[in-house]
């Protein structure tokens, strides 16, 4: 037994702090989580119910509910903010950790605390303007429900308040007060230093754009600060220190970015993706494809490419796609001798390949921020995924051309037929979703509710795999992922507004439009730019920030907006799923439970194939717009 006098003082102090944390932090954290997670899960259910009721009333009973969209919009901001709180409590806000993960553990621990302090600084800067914004909204009455808009706008200060409490609890959980004090001091000194430099900033003019939107954003992102808060800090600093604009405007722009009703399909499609996995629909589709191609050299790799294409057409969430497919295929692929590195490399590459498959969240986002027709994007996104899939299959054929299949039994026609019949209800879902949008049964936002209702019925009545115990955690997961995405969109909308007000967008448009070579050069530069942006900023932030700036230029040089959307999304997807910076690659590794180092070499060939496919899609506009009519 160790006596107290033999324990170092610092170690004893940490044990005492850990005990104190156990005594009061954990219960408080549990209470706070319950206060947020239960309403967030209920809001996901409420949104599904409101929108589905609106579809049924309009299409079946021909009695549109004039208040359904308005109520859905009010609930949506609450869902976005409470979901952001859940993501904050879980540490699930999107952040770039490629550099942070390479430093010493002690430095990494310090940077993790700095990230919490930086987020806390942003929230403290904006919580008072958020209250002011909500109080001003009390003078506005909603047209259909005729209630004060403060009931919707109050979500902003309430959500920020909960995140402030969560940040304080997370700091208390650290246990090492020296670490916390150091991080708080560093962030505080940086804030004070920026304030003291205000006279210098006032004389820099547009050079401030480099200071805040390049310097501050890059420093924060590479230090591991969640991307939404990095964007928010840069925008708030720029507005506060270089302009006379009140901070209230930043809150208003965030509200505008997060409240777009089209974005309501984000949480709904995320939830649909989880239902697909839970009900066994994804497993049924993969089993059918495996029965067709399991006996071919590299056959299960082809199945992986095809399964990701089909599942992407259902869920809209890449994490959900990979989580649905990998556990089904990887054990058998390993049994056939596939190396773990090649498995995770191909899984990551298919994530990039299927970014344009409707109803991709990126398609929905690009439609929301640029005004491009969602229906046109859904139609135009199918064939580019096929082209990139073909280039990946070419690499698979080359790598597995000598595979020994003597021990593999070919499925009989009876087995294939049985697998097909079992998979029909699952395979029908992507076609049902697309038909509902094209035939006008539901909007791109509402159609996800039809998919959810269909998945529930198929899970209960056909596959009989519906685990009611998983429903609650799935709803909370949906809120958390959606909140993380929507907070980035809100912060990036504020940043894009600040860039526009500074005149930067006009200067960029002029410079890009004057480039020699016209449309081909502009497309080539866009490909390179979005591969880099996709790896650094992740997909949705890059689209929200630069889409509104670059799409008008594309139109000006004569590029069809749907064609440009496909090129941009695929380029961004390559950056997002390619190491060393692409976070999508690390998500694939986490889902596969394979170390990232193992996939570094195998993925090179697949990334080159994706680049070739991207070049083909960029060079042949018909691939993207040939079926638009």
Q: Give the tens place of pLDDT for each residue, 571-626.
A: 988 988 887 667 678 778 877 778 777 888 889 999 999 999 999 999 999 999 98
Higher per-residue confidence, 334 vs 239: 239
Structural domain boundaries in the chain: 16-259, 263-468+502-625
463-517: pLDDT as tens digits = 888 888 999 999 998 899 888 878 887 887 888 788 777 777 667 667 777 777 7
Distance, in Å, from the CA atom of 573 to the CA atom of 528, rounded to the nearest integer, reads 12
Arithmetic mean of pLDDT over the chain? 84
Query: 148 has which bridge partners?
Result: 141
Distance, in Å, from the CA atom of 627 to the CA atom of 629, rounded to the nearest integer, reads 5
What is the average pLDDT across 324-337? 76
- Residue 148: what are its φ and ψ, rounded to 5°? -60, 140
What burial class does residue 46 get, using C-beta atoms within 10 Å of its C-beta: 0-12 exposed, 13-18 middle, 19+ buried?
middle
Distance, in Å, from the CA atom of 276 to the CA atom of 256, rounded to the nearest integer, reads 31
Residue 621 structure tokens: 């506009």
pLDDT band at 166; cut points 50, 70, 90: very high
Q: Which residue has the tokens 């959980």?
A: 173
Cis peptide before 277 (omega within 30 of 0): no
Residue 72 structure tokens: 């859905």
Q: Which residue has the tokens 């697309």?
A: 434
Of 81-85, 149-153, 194-198, 307-311, which range is least confident? 307-311
Distance, in Å, from the CA atom of 263 to the CA atom of 488, rounded to the nearest integer, reads 12
- Residue 226: what are its φ and ψ, rounded to 5°? -50, 140
Report how far Cα 529 is from the mean position of its chain's Cα atoms. Answer: 19
Secondary structure E strands in 494-534: none
Query: 141 has which bridge partners?
Result: 148
**From the CB of residue 331, how many other CB atoms can be counted at a distance below 10 Å?**
10
377-392: pLDDT as tens digits = 888 988 999 999 999 9
Per-residue pLDDT for 21 more than 90?
no
The residues, any chain, with a CB within 8 Å of residue 600's CB and separated by 6 or more, are: 341, 579, 580
Secondary structure E strands in 336-413: none
Measured between alpha carbons, how far is residue 128 from residues 151, 156, 247, 398 in Å?
17, 10, 9, 60
Higher per-residue confidence, 580 vs 244: 244
Distance, in Å, from the CA atom of 286 to the CA atom of 306, rounded to the nearest integer, reads 8
SS3 141: strand
The answer to whether 396 and 305 are in contact (CB under 8 A) is yes
H runs (alpha helix) in 56-175: 68-90, 105-137, 150-153, 155-174
Distance, in Å, from the CA atom of 238 to the CA atom of 195, rounded to the nearest integer, reads 11
Most confident of 352-361, 391-400, 592-601: 391-400
The answer to whether 191 and 240 are in contact (CB under 8 A) is no
């Amino acid at each position: 037994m160790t006596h107290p006098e033999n324990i170092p003082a610092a170690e004893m102090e940490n044990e005492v702090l850990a005990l104190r944390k156990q005594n009061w932090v954990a219960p408080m954290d549990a209470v706070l989580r319950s206060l947020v997670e239960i309403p967030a899960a209920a809001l996901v259910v409420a949104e599904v119910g409101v929108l589905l009721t609106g579809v049924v009333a309009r299409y079946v009973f021909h009695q549109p509910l004039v208040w359904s969209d308005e109520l859905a919009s009010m609930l949506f901001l609450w869902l976005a903010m409470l979901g952001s709180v859940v993501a904050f409590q879980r540490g699930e806000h999107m952040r770039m950790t490629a550099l942070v993960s390479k430093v010493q553990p002690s430095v990494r621990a310090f940077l993790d605390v700095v990230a919490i302090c930086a987020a806390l600084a942003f929230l403290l800067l904006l919580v008072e303007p958020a209250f002011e914004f909500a109080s001003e909204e009390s003078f506005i009455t909603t047209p259909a429900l005729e209630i004060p808009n403060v009931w919707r706008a109050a979500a902003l200060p309430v959500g920020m308040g909960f995140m402030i409490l969560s940040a304080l609890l997370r700091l208390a959980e650290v246990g090492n007060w020296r670490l916390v004090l150091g991080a708080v001091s560093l962030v505080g000194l940086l804030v004070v230093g920026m304030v003291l430099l205000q006279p210098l900033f006032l004389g820099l003019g547009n050079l401030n754009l480099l200071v805040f939107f390049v310097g501050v954003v890059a420093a924060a992102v590479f230090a591991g600060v969640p991307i939404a808060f990095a964007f928010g800090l840069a925008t708030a600093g720029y507005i506060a220190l270089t302009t006379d604009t009140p901070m209230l405007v930043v809150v208003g722009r965030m509200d505008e970015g997060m409240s777009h009703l089209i974005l309501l399909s984000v949480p709904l499609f995320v939830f649909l993706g989880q239902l697909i996995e839970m009900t066994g629909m994804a497993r049924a589709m993969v089993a059918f494809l495996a029965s067709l191609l399991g006996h071919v050299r590299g056959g299960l790799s082809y199945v992986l490419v095809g399964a990701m294409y089909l599942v992407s057409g259902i869920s809209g969430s890449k994490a959900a796609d990979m989580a649905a497919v990998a556990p089904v295929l990887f054990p058998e692929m390993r049994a056939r001798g596939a190396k773990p590195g090649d498995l995770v490399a191909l899984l990551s590459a298919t994530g990039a390949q299927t970014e344009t498959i409707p109803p991709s969240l990126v398609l929905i986002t690009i439609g929301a921020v640029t005004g491009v027709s969602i229906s046109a994007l859904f139609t135009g996104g199918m064939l580019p995924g096929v082209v990139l899939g073909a280039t990946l299959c070419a690499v698979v054929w080359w790598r597995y051309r000598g595979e020994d299949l003597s021990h593999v039994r070919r499925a009989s026609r009876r087995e294939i037929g049985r697998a097909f019949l079992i998979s029909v209800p699952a395979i029908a879902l992507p076609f049902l979703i697309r038909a509902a949008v094209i035939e006008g049964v539901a909007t791109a936002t509402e159609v996800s509710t039809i998919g959810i209702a269909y998945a529930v019925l198929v899970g209960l009545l056909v596959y009989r795999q519906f685990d009611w115990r998983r429903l609650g955690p799935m709803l909370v997961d949906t809120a958390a992922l959606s909140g993380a995405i929507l907070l980035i969109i809100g912060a990036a909308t504020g940043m894009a507004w600040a860039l526009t007000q500074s005149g930067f967008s006009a200067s960029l448009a002029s410079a890009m439009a004057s480039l020699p070579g016209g449309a081909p050069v502009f497309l080539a530069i866009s490909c390179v730019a979005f591969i880099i942006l996709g790896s650094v900023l992740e997909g949705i932030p890059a689209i929200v920030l630069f889409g509104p700036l670059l799409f008008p230029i594309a139109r000006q040089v004569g590029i069809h907006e749907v064609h440009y959307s496909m090129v941009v999304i695929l380029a961004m997807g390559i950056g997002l799923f390619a190491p060393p910076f692409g976070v999508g690659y690390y998500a694939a590794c986490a889902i596969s439970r394979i170390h990232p180092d193992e996939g570094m070499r195998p993925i090179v060939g697949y990334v080159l194939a994706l680049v070739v496919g991207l070049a083909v899609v960029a060079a042949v506009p018909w691939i993207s717009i040939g079926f638009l009519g």
